[in-house]
Amino acid sequence: MILKQICVVGAGTMGAGIAQVCAVARYRVTLVDLDPKQLDRAKESINNSLGRFAHKNKLSEPVSTIMARIEYCQELAVCGNADMAIEAVYEDIEVKTGIIQELSQVIDSSAIIGTNTSAISITALAAAAIKPERVIGIHFFNPVPMLKAVEVVRGMETRDDTMDVTTQFITSLGKRPIVVNHDIPGFLLNRINLPSNLEAIRMVEQGVATIEDVDQGVKLAFGRPMGIFELGDLVGLDVTLNACDAIYNETKDPKYLPPVLLRRMVKAGRLGKKTGNGWYAYNADGSKVVPASSATKKD
């Protein structure tokens, strides 16, 4: 199966990033979102991101040529001509299930439906599709244009040819497919990464160390480009909480039980860079304006 037309549903940070890397790889892309303002923000974000790559001489084509491959639409019906549709909406099983159910009714029977979930069961999501054997997990990591790993997750009904086409697609994007052959909660990389992230939050919650020292220690000792809390703000605290809850609710493994501090931050609307306040606080341009220790105190 040769993929030419990709439909991405959800024009948030992840959806915009997925659309961008597909367009750079010379696929025709339709980015779908019900909110026209979100589509405008996505278009601006993609253009700015491509501009930074162009400034570093990391693009083989002009930005305008790549941008011309992306169409923006509010109607899910436009996915009817897609060879692959990738949903990248909010990490909520009911929202994602609804999108997958709608997609399966409009796309061709041979098309593949990918779900960019970080922890929700692929099998459960695929059950909403007319052809669950054509549904597969395609878990990109944030920021999509920068990070090379993409988990390709097999649901119970996913066919071998669906896996094969998807892994080839991910490779064509210049990324490395990490094949996950069993649909376990949290898949592979989050199962490894999330416990350490939650432990870092507990250490801060207990007053063992500051957010700044944890992040500096992780970067200096482990060679990470970003600290745990810096990356948490980029991903979104609500996304992290939902992923942990999804894993814990299915496994009851206490190491995935979210700390109270994380729940409090989400309830307070301190979700990270997208709200201007998370573990750190931010200016409109994304720069920090106060230390993390101040950001987590009551106003």
Task: Give the active site residues.
Answer: 118, 139, 151, 190
Please say whether the beta carbons of 242 and 92 come within 8 A: yes
Please say whether the beta carbons of 157 and 133 come within 8 A: yes
Locate 136 and state its tokens.
């597969």
Please say whether the beta carbons of 30 and 8 come within 8 A: yes
If we measure between CA atoms, which residue out of 105, 104, 28 comes closest to residue 115?
Answer: 104
Q: What are phi and psi of 189, to 5 degrees?
A: -70, -35
If we measure between CA atoms, which residue out of 9, 3, 6, 4 comes closest to residue 75?
Answer: 9
HSE at residue 77, side-chain half, CA atoms within 13 A, is 1
Amino acid at 145: P
**Residue holding tokens 């400034």?**
55
